[in-house]
Amino acid sequence: MAVNPFDIQGKLALITGSSRGLGFALAQGLAEQGARVIIHGRSEDTVNQAVQAIREATGSEAFGVTFDVTRSDEVKTALTQLVETHGVPEILVNNAGLQRRAPFTEFEPDDWDAVIATNLSSSFYVANALARHMSERGHGKIVNIGSVQSMLARQTIAPYSASKGGVVMLTKGMAADLARFNIQVNCISPGYFKTDMNTALWQDEAFNSWVENRTPAQRWGNVQELVGTLLYLCSDASSFVSGQNIFVDGGMTSVV
């Protein structure tokens, strides 16, 4: 093990859905620790802006890649080109996500398909493509982003809960297959964080009050508070940790 087991200096990390929001914060957190980060999104302009912002803020190398995570053929083509250009990432963070809300009886099949494709299928597509290269090399770190909704349900988001529950079990299945190649696969499940996706929620006085009262820490999380757990799972410090789901939720899943 390295003298500093948390050292990720120079390691190449791909973070999906990282051109803004939570993914951007995670990418910047890794870049601040010396990782070379690959920013991903579907808009080339937004990706380029995020790359420039991380370079200026951290001084670390940052690159951009654009593809639709829900299209397996597009994922495979893009990642083949990425590996040819930059090499095989040591770190993959499957962060791309989507939320749709509606009462269960009014939820449209197309919205179900979109949530499952973005939150669950994409994690399989991207990890499946990169794990082949990681296994040949003999090491790698894969971190999937789950949610407290992988364990807890709320009204109007049944498909989201199903997708995030699937991410946790996909993590365990991947760990079972990939551990022998020295690839650790784990999941981080955030609680309620002030992100772009949750803007309408934390600006809603009633919902904001519910989150603060339901969370033992009595507040929302700040996205920077996920970086420490991510750094642990991306570094040699977690070399014998695989298949785990770590809740970063201010204690929400520990109480009734």
**Is residue 256 over pLDDT 90?**
no
- Domain contains 6: no
Containing structural domain, residue 225: 12-248
Instruction: Establish whether 125 is a catalytic residue.
Output: no
User: What's the domain count of the chain?
Assistant: 1
| Residue 17 near residue 75, CB atoms below 8 Å | no
Report the C-alpha gap between 145 and 197 in whole angstroms. Answer: 14
Which of the residues 125, 160, 192, 232 is marked catalytic? 160
Q: How confident is the model at residue 251 (pLDDT cuts 50, 70, 90)?
A: very high
- Domain contains 66: yes
- Domain contains 256: no
**Mean pLDDT of the residues in the chain:** 96
- Domain contains 4: no
**Is residue 1 over pLDDT 60?**
no
- Domain contains 216: yes
- Domain contains 254: no
Strand arrangement, sheet containing 62-66: 62-66, 36-41, 12-15, 91-94, 140-145, 183-190, 245-248
Tally Cβ neighbours within 10 Å of residue 63.
18
For the whole model, what pTM was predicted? 0.96
- Domain contains 1: no
- Domain contains 7: no
Model confidence over 137-185: pLDDT tens digits? 999 999 999 999 999 999 999 999 999 999 999 999 999 999 999 999 9
Q: The domain spanning residue 170 has which CATH number?
A: 3.40.50.720
